């Protein structure tokens, strides 16, 4: 048996083939960590692996609080999803603190 018929991303216990001495060998990308990959895993699966690609960060949003402490957020989109055990996607959202300084803040006190 071997991985020529299937390659799975991540940890997937259903992604296996019969190996030597009736033992199971695996074709999921997690097998590289556990060391129980089928003999042809690298040639069958890693060659087909496609890592995640993301676009540029969008602009920061306005501060969530017009007066005082709040937060801003920005995001980016996946342009190429990971396939066949390729690198997973990095964070798609970021958040940071901000201080709202709307002109009416001082008069509201």
Domains of the chain listed by start with CATH number: 1-48 (no CATH), 55-108 (2.20.100.10)
Nearest-CA neighbor of 29 among 78, 81, 82? 82
* pLDDT 10s digits, 54-107: 999 999 999 999 998 999 999 999 998 887 667 889 999 999 999 988 888 876
* pLDDT 10s digits, 4-56: 778 887 889 899 888 777 788 999 888 988 999 988 888 888 666 778 899 99
Does the pTM surpass 0.75? The reply is no
């Amino acid at each position: 048996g071997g991985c020529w018929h299937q390659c799975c991303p991540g940890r997937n216990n259903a992604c296996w083939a019969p190996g030597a001495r009736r033992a199971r060998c695996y074709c999921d990308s997690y097998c590289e960590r556990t060391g129980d990959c089928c003999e042809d895993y690298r040639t069958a699966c890693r060659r087909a692996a496609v890592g995640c690609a993301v676009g540029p960060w969008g602009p920061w949003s306005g501060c969530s609080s017009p007066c005082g402490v709040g937060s801003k957020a920005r995001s980016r989109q996946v342009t190429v999803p990971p396939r066949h055990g390729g690198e997973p996607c990095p964070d798609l959202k970021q958040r940071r603190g901000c201080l709202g300084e709307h002109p009416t803040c001082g008069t509201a006190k």
